Amino acid sequence: MSTRVREPVLFLVIGVLIASLMVFVVYPSIQVFLYPSGTDFIKILMNPRYQRSILNSLYIVVLSTLSATFLGFIYAYAITRTDIPFRKFFKGISLLPLFSPPFMVAFSYIMLFGKNGLITSKLLGLQVNIFGWHGLWFAQTVAFLPVASLVMEGVLQSIPPSLEYAGRNLGASGFTLFRTITFPLARPGVAGAALLVAIQVLADFGNPIMISGDFSVVATEAWMRVEGWADIAGAAVLSLLLLVPSFLIFLFQRYWVSRRSYVTITGKITQIDIQKTGTWIRWVLFLICFSLSLLIILVYLALFMGAFVEGWGFNWTPTLRYVQEILSRSPELTNSLLFSIFAGAGSAVFSITAAYIVSRKRFFGRRFIDFTCILPAALPGIFLGLGYSISYTKPPFDLYGTAAIVVLALMFWNIAMGYQTGIGVFQQISPSLSEAASNLGAGSLRIFREIEIPLIKGPFFSAFIVSFIRAITTLSVVVFIVTQKNVVTTFSIMNLVSDGFYGKAAALTCTLLIIAFGLLGITKLVLGKNVVLFKV
């Protein structure tokens, strides 16, 4: 008997999932492909300005990926494989940028190391121009180092110390032990982390728009085609130039991670403490971790200072007047909060439901749901935002200036993380529980409601929190679809920084941080260890 006849509600849910993915993921993506003509492609690709921006993007991707992966590996190795002091502190600090607006690192470093920077100008008396490729490289390295570190931390933790003990018993020590045992086992994770960082650097819009200056990259040029020339077709071409390498790297990264094999544990795991690290190596690694942590802490210090001084770089008098800016921007803050709540909740419900259906059922269209739920992870935010701008700002789907277009874009941009989390959780829940209930006559939805849901509360709230934070701090997804009617805080911050109103921008950014960390803290307090965030 078919699913349609036996379980009509389940059949309806599957139909809604497929239709939603077609309308809100596939359709806007196809529209970006179809919008420009062949002439538009030729005009953009033959223009030296955009040829240079393509090369610039590739250049900064290579530089940032190498530096972020290299430093991320050292950081992860130090906090997982050595006994340096304050390891838990360093681990906590490294996670902070994951919960912050993507442009925040560049904005803070302008305030710290720019022409009127606190460190360069006030403390050292230097006139430094941080705008350009070197400033962008610096910002991208610090911004995406936590991503690389988090991936490699998981890989390094999976290597049992007993292997290193065995190596020492055979006469290896120091760098020889690291070179012959530790690093070869961690190498697949290093490559996977590098590919993940490359995707995020390539698709990043927030840091380049803040700090790249005359060093144009494809993401900022796509924005300028619309902002400066109202050329949506040209922006579509440039967005496609972002999509192609990003999608290829994404596919290769998933292929690499899925095929990697470094089985190091068989039978019962023996708990062995990590052996003491040599004194000079221990302190060198400590200094590296301390320096990287300091660079991250300075990001937050600059923001909070900037929100409470009269004029950054020339008048350091304490003031509370920028708090009034927060109150005057209450419509944007309210929009950001409400849009993110609805988008986060919708993304969590959709992704967890899709994960349950795909992991527990066999039906026509299963592979389509599986692939399309993962697809947004490969789509640069600026690409998806442009797709929504093209698709849903004219009849028959005219959502121009509405809350719906922002909420839907943020919701479907975030389903990949929740879906992957859900798939992982349902793989850990034995199907025998559902089979026993099914044998007793329970339908799929009743099994999901009464058996599966109580077991996935933690992952559901994890998906919600991650989606909420990404939604309230993103800039790239919304930059093409916000208007005066549905403007959000990140867009206002970008304009304030561009106009030189650093104090106002800092105050608004701090408000976003307080909201993000406040919700995270409340959720952790209520649900504790049941909530695991940013497991990549």
In a domain, 246, yes or no: yes
Same-domain pairing of 56 and 149: yes
d(CA 388, CA 410): 11
Do 282 and 402 lie in one domain? The reply is no
Give the model confidence (pLDDT) of 147-157 as tens digits.
Answer: 899 888 877 77
pLDDT at 515: 92
| Residue 33 scores a pLDDT above 50 | yes
Instruction: Choose from 14-28, 87-101, 346-360 the range with maximum mean pLDDT.
Output: 14-28
Q: Tell me: do 283 and 212 sit in the same domain.
A: yes
Same domain, 29 and 45: no
- Of 31-40, 168-177, 247-256, 321-330, which range is least confident? 168-177
Q: Do 527 and 493 fall into the same domain?
A: yes
Buried b (16+ CB within 10 A) or exposed e, 90-119: bbebbebbbbbbbbbbbbbbbbbbbebbbb
pLDDT at 530: 56
| Whether pLDDT at 293 is above 70 | yes
Same domain, 181 and 287: yes
Residue 190 has a pLDDT of 84
Length of the chain: 536
CB 181 within 8 A of CB 292: no
- 195 and 333 together in one domain: no
- pLDDT-wise least confident of 37-46, 96-105, 466-475: 96-105
Query: How confident is residue 31, by pLDDT bands cut at 50, 70 and 90?
Result: very high
What predicted TM-score, i.e. pTM, was given to this entire model? 0.87
Is 267 part of any domain? no
Mean pLDDT score, 219-225: 93
- The pLDDT tens digits for 477-517 are 999 999 999 999 999 999 999 888 999 999 999 999 999 88
For residue 76, pLDDT beyond 50:
yes
Q: Between these two residues, 413 and 445, which has the higher pLDDT value?
A: 413
Residue 334 lies in a domain: yes
Tell me if 14 is assigned to some domain.
yes
In this prediction, residue 490 carries a pLDDT of 95
Is residue 175 located within the same domain as residue 26?
Answer: no
Contact 393, 399 (CB under 8 A): yes
Q: How far is CA 94 from CA 85, 101, 147, 183, 319, in A?
A: 15, 15, 9, 22, 30
Same domain, 233 and 157: yes
Percentage, residues of the chain above pLDDT 90: 51
User: What is the model's pLDDT at position 1?
Assistant: 41
* pLDDT above 80: residue 250: yes
pLDDT in tens, 384-408: 999 999 999 988 889 999 999 999 9
402 falls within a domain: yes
Burial class (CB in 10 A: 0-12, 13-18, 19+), 341: middle
Number of structural domains in the chain: 2
Q: Are 140 and 68 in contact (CB under 8 A)?
A: yes
- Is the pLDDT at 447 greater than 80? The verdict is no
Centroid of chain to Cα 536: 10
pLDDT in tens, 112-121: 998 888 899 8
Strand 393-394 relative to strand 315-318: parallel, antiparallel, unpaired?
unpaired
Mind spelling out the 3-state secondary structure of 76-96? HHHHHHCCCCCHHHHHHHHHH
* CATH code of the domain covering residue 467: 1.10.3720.10
Say whether both 131 and 66 belong to one domain. yes
Residue 428 lies in a domain: yes
pLDDT at 443 over 80: no
Give the pLDDT of residue 270.
Answer: 42
Name the helix (H) or strand (E) containing 419. helix 415-428
Q: Is residue 264 part of a domain?
A: no
Looking at per-residue confidence, does 135 or 448 come out higher? Answer: 135
Q: How many CA atoms lie within 13 A of 283 on its CB side?
A: 2
What is the pLDDT averaged over residues 348-367? 88
- Before 396, cis peptide (omega within 30)? yes
pLDDT over 80 (residue 535): no
Looking up tokens 């925040």 gives 104
Residues paired with 315 in a beta bridge: 311
What pLDDT shows up at residue 263?
42
**Is residue 273 pLDDT above 70, yes or no?**
no
C-alpha distances in Å from residue 104, one per residue of 7, 72, 101, 385: 49, 19, 5, 20
Q: If you average pLDDT over residues 371-395, what whole number do you get?
A: 93
| Structure letter (DSSP) for residue 170 | T
Residue 334: domain span:
1-34+321-536
379 and 244: one domain?
A: no
Give me the chain's average pLDDT, please.
85
What is the structure's pLDDT at 315? 84
Residues 368 and 464 in one domain: yes
What SS3 state is found at 101?
coil
Asked if residue 89 is part of any domain, the answer here is: yes
In which band, very low, low, confident or very high, does the pLDDT at 44 lie, cut at 50, 70 and 90? very high
